Amino acid sequence: MQTVGTPFLWGSFTMVVLTMLIIDLFLRGREHGTQTISFKQSTIWSLIWVSVTLLFSGVFWWYTESKVGYSIATTQTLAFLTGYILEKALAVDNVFVWLMFFNYFSIPASLQRRVLIYGVLGAIVLRTIMILAGNWLVMRFSWILYLFGMFLLLTGLKMIFNKEKHKKKMGYKIVVSWLSKHLNITNTLEGENFFILKNGVIFATPLFLVLVIIELSDVIFALDSIPAIFAVTTNSFIVLTSNLFAILGLRAMYFLLANVAERFFMLKYGLAIVLVFIGIKMLIAKIYHIPVAISLSIVSTILSSTIFINAWVNQKNNKK
């Protein structure tokens, strides 16, 4: 597979990820237990994850520049940042789905942290498998990028013109119904437990159902985000690292956005426009190559403009 990843870069990435996982998920988890994570704590940890990502991108540029020169290092680093921003932005919609099902199953905020710990760890494994499989396909069948482009274009247009929330809810309810028929499930939560032993029989709890739905939702949303980053680069190291760095900050981002979800009602349109742009970029790649720096600028402009317009509309509505 095409990659700029050397043993030093792969080793550095692995060390950073493992260190941050131990601190964020385990040491910090023991400290807070089942306490609700505050907005302030979520903000701080979101900034920490972004800072770690930017620091890694700096090390990546410095190391790559020393090996292959300024031009390639800059292009590859911009590809990494573009992939990171794309995944981070597209993950927002995923976060809102999590919030919807936490509310649907009446999962208290104190237990959401435990579900998200395993949800993020599962997402890391599933995304890694999907990215490596996708990269294998792209390397052997380059025409598949056109299928990705068409898929993203149609997905973006559907997000703009169709209301698919009801269909998505129905899809998840089918999964819940199937699990309910094939598993013994308790009617109530049993603390932090995903399973309990009752009269010699193993029962799953609603907390386990939510965990399954979170993993399923990540796979579904990955079908959008992974093809999108292949429009930026097919470099396996950049695709994987930018994707995983974005995922690792999802738990903090969830608690950050949980209290302001309703204020971001226009964000889906910004994400839809981004998908349309990425889809077109992939479809015209043979005719005209859009440089990574321009792609990064366009994606950043679309997302920042959406947030600005959203804030303006909210402010206008509050005055009424």
For the entire predicted model, the pTM comes to 0.82
Structure tokens at 89: 């932005």
- Residue 171: pLDDT band (50, 70, 90) is low
- Chain mean pLDDT for the chain: 82
Per-residue pLDDT tens over the stretch 254-310: 887 776 666 677 777 888 888 898 889 889 988 888 888 888 889 889 888 988 888
Residue 114 pLDDT > 70:
yes
Residues 6-36 have pLDDT tens digits of 888 999 999 998 888 887 766 665 555 555 6
Range with the lowest mean pLDDT among 65-74, 162-171, 180-189, 258-267? 162-171
Q: What is the pLDDT of residues 65-96, one digit of tens each?
A: 998 899 999 999 999 999 999 888 888 777 87
